[in-house]
Amino acid sequence: MVKYIVRFLLQAETPLFVGSGQSSLLKDALVQKDVNGFPMIPGTSLAGVLRHSFARSHGEACASKIFGDSKGSETGTGSLLKISPALMLLNTKQVSEGLLYGEQWEQLKFRFDNLPIRQHVRISQKGVAEEMGLFDNEVIYKGTRFVFELELTERNENLLEDWESLLKIISSSDFRIGSGTRNGYGSLKVLKKQAFRFDLRTELKHYLDLSPSFADIDWNRVEENSEKVLTSTVSKVKYTLKLTPDPFFIFGSGYDDQDVDNTPLEEEVIKYDESSGKICFESFLVIPGSSIKGAIAHRVAYHFNRKQGIWAGSDQDGLANEAVKELFGDIETSKRAGKIFIDDVFLSQKEVASDKIFNHVAIDRFTGGAIDGALFSEKVSYLKRRLYPDNFTRRCALRAKVS
């Protein structure tokens, strides 16, 4: 019997939402947390994503051999794969396992008691917000790191090739977890991994001596992950859309501040300081992937309907649009996920400023005058200007002038 074990250090490349199924007085959907109050990813969630990806590339029969099968068969088998929950890395060494006590953890826990909130609104076929269509959910900070373990038991059949395929799936850029993966959530990157192989016939003692605690791993001694990205069996095209605001833009947070009634959406991003060994928080302006996706989906519907001669009021406008269902998914009939993945955009304070205030007043459409008490204001954002000479001659001239 052979045991294959790999421990992964993952980093959230985008915000992450693995729901707990619970809500609160202020939030509609809360993230899953461990006993210490820090975010976690259940092993069942990881197993579900891994099995789906593995079955897509290797077939359902092979997936049942690795992950087990008990549906509709008297000869069902258990899983050969053990998957631990992914626990949060609280600093460069400590993992949130067991019960943690101390003021430093209480201060950090306060940050995760007040996770960022993403506001959503359901849009009608007319492109406006539907009544009672507002909802929100928590998200885990971008940059949060997690540790989890895979263990595969090989009995008689050689499973090395299948094991390597599983590891490549986790290292793939397609590996996403949780809800909203098509809206910019759930992208995970493997930073480091620690691998073991034990032949229990000769190495049983070494297997038993391996500490089960993630806190005993010194990640500074583990090399960076260099796993090649898995070549997908489904053809994919990656587009980079470059948008330039002219000149201002705003993606509202839904909240006010001491100056205005509506502020741009900002979120903190976690960074692990290797020198101090602590977690740092840095504020970024956010352009949500769901906002970009919604705008693009409406334009797709418009141009598809225009070319097909489908006009407003027909049965195929709005959510029934075939192009929108094919690209962005369908929740009504075929229950299929979308094919478009759009990530959030995070802009640092060096790249963008949000200090411009616009004042507005609502106008009475009948009289043309201002409505009493309808004055409101908002902060808008703009990119900070930088000089980029277009050709080599101008660049050399600028360099000579500066010198």
Q: Which burial class, exposed, middle or buried, applies to 110 when counting CB atoms under 10 A from its CB (0-12, 13-18, 19+)? A: exposed
Can you read off the two tokens belonging to residue 50? 């891994």
Give me the torsion for CA of 279, 262, 247, 285, rounded to 10°: 10
Per the listing, tokens 């979308």 go with 338
CA angle 224/230/235 to nearest 5° reads 145
Question: What integer pLDDT is reported at residue 38 of this predicted model?
Answer: 94
pLDDT for the residue 39: 94
How far is 219 from 197, CA to CA, in rounded Å?
19
Nearest to 261 by CA among 377, 355, 165, 172: 377
At 247 the pLDDT is 82
Q: By the 8 A CB rule, do 280 and 270 touch?
A: yes
Looking up tokens 């003021």 gives 103
- C-alpha–C-alpha distance, residues 129 and 291, integer Å: 13
CB 169 within 8 A of CB 50: yes
Closest CA to 135 of 119, 115, 154: 119
Q: Are 136 and 31 in contact (CB under 8 A)?
A: no
Single out the residue of 112, 230, 108 nearest to residue 171, CA to CA: 230
Per-residue pLDDT of the chain (403 residues; tens, 9 = 90+): 889 999 999 999 999 999 888 888 888 888 999 999 999 999 999 999 999 989 888 888 888 888 888 765 566 778 889 999 999 999 988 999 989 888 889 889 998 998 988 887 776 666 667 777 788 889 999 999 999 999 999 888 888 888 999 999 998 888 899 888 888 888 999 999 999 999 888 999 998 999 898 888 888 778 776 555 444 545 577 777 777 787 888 888 888 888 898 899 999 999 998 888 889 999 999 988 888 888 888 888 888 888 888 877 666 655 567 888 888 887 667 677 788 888 888 998 888 888 889 998 888 888 888 888 888 899 999 887 554 444 444 444 445 544 4
**pLDDT value, residue 226:** 59
Distance, CA of 123 to CA of 120 (rounded, Å): 9
Q: Residue 182 in contact with residue 328, Cβ under 8 Å?
A: yes
Q: How far is CA 316 from CA 294, 312, 329, 356, in A?
A: 18, 9, 15, 42
For residue 115, the tally of other CB atoms under 10 A from its CB is 21
Distant-in-sequence, close-in-space partners of 151: CB < 8 Å, separation ≥ 6: 3, 4, 5, 81, 82
Beta bridge partners of 148: 8
Nearest to 158 by CA among 206, 205, 199: 199
What pLDDT does residue 375 have?
87
Q: Report pLDDT for 64.
A: 87
Residue 87 confidence (pLDDT): 95
Q: What Rg do the C-alpha atoms of the chain give, in angstroms? A: 25
